[in-house]
Amino acid sequence: MRIGLDGRASKWYRGTGIGNYTYQLISSLIKEDKHNDYIIFMPEDSDLEFKPVRNFNIKNISSNKRDNFWDEVNIPNILGDNEVDIYHVPQNGIGLPNKKVCPFVITLHDVIPLKMPETVGENYLRIFNQEIPDIVKKCDGIITVSNYSKKDIAKTLSFPEDKIFVTYLSNEKIYKRENREYSKILMRNHYGIEGDYILYVGGFSPRKNILGLIRAYSYLVQKYNIKEKLVIAGKKGKSYEMYRDETIKLRVEDKVLFPGFIELNHMPYLYSASELFVYPSFYEGFGLPPIEAMACMVPVIASNVTSIPEIVGDAAILTDPYDIDKLAEEMRRVLCDDSLKKKLILKGLSKVSKLSFRKTAKETLDIYKKITADSFF
């Protein structure tokens, strides 16, 4: 079987869920599959080093660099007739070729732009709304990252549920417990983060419920005078000023830190230096940061909605993201109860041990085989 895979997100969107998924999928397929032939379509300016092997070939494509990833990747790669037996686009199908010369499969991580359009960027929303209906019509199968997303995609896009396949994500191997004291020193020296802290990692979209987290934290400061700071890590989006204004309004601006984008190799130290990880998102197709935190032996509190309970199970405290007082009290409960912390850490490690990109790659390969077997091409 000759497999084509759009690898552009692994270069241009690395550091995001979709970019990391694409990178790890390609890396794991290289390690696991010695029988099929692959063409990985990569930008000509790519400096990512996928270890060369006999059955994997990189096809360099021209870059027409734009300011926005979704605008850039929306330019399809050109497939030759009989070049591949199946073609996979991991970035929600954006950039799928117009001409269909083989079976198409996409990874559609979620349908958030259709469910919560106010929480995504304008460019992505425009492209998603314009492109996805036609993309889905051309698909022979869709891969997604949770059973919740599978049902959501089937219902929202009227796509046959038996042609939607679930492969779970996993934390990257760099995520493991690091020395706590060294982690604290690194965080202080590089990002100005001092002392004990509660951590959030992720996007700044309103969908992530950062306002709710700040309000819950303010409740803890006012009612219990907790000493831990709140660190909200991630690339500052256009919502940043709203969050910063909320900390000023609630008089916790000196206790809530926004260090911005954290280098990938520093992420395990960011997690390892924290007391507690909180992920109060309103909607997730998967939600990888709680798994990363568990791999670093940090207790986790997360939302009890959408895919999150499916992914974290009983390895996290699950709470209603709309109930600010309850969220605050759960945060305090974990901070004050060492036995609960240890219990959550052990359950988290058990949960993480069941996930791997090696497994994701093997399941993806099985999906390729099924789609090509069922196809009329």
Query: What tokens were used for 165?
Result: 């396949």
Q: What share of the chain is helix, strand, coil (3-state, %, to 5)?
A: 45, 15, 35
Residue in 167, 91, 205 with CA at minimum distance from that of residue 355: 167
Domains located in the chain, CATH noted:
2-170+356-374 (3.40.50.2000), 180-353 (3.40.50.2000)
d(CA 336, CA 341): 9
Q: Please state the pTM of the whole predicted model.
A: 0.92
> Residue 134's pLDDT is what?
92
**Amino acid (one-letter) located at 295:** A
Six token digits for residue 81:
């007739």
Radius of gyration (C-alpha) of the chain in whole angstroms:
21
- pLDDT at res. 51: 65
Element (DSSP H or E) covering residue 72:
helix 69-73
What is the pairing mode between strands 229-233 and 104-107?
unpaired
- Euclidean distance between CA atoms 138 and 155, whole angstroms: 18
Rounded-to-integer distance, Cα 150 and Cα 156, Å: 10
pLDDT tens for the chain, residues 1 to 377? 999 999 888 876 666 778 889 999 999 999 999 999 999 988 776 555 666 688 988 887 766 665 566 666 676 777 877 889 999 999 999 889 888 989 999 999 999 999 999 988 888 898 889 999 999 999 999 999 999 999 999 999 999 999 999 999 999 999 999 999 999 999 999 999 999 999 999 999 999 999 999 999 999 999 999 999 999 999 898 899 999 999 999 999 999 999 999 998 999 999 999 999 999 999 999 999 999 999 999 999 999 999 999 999 999 999 999 999 999 999 999 999 999 999 999 999 999 999 999 999 999 999 999 999 988 77
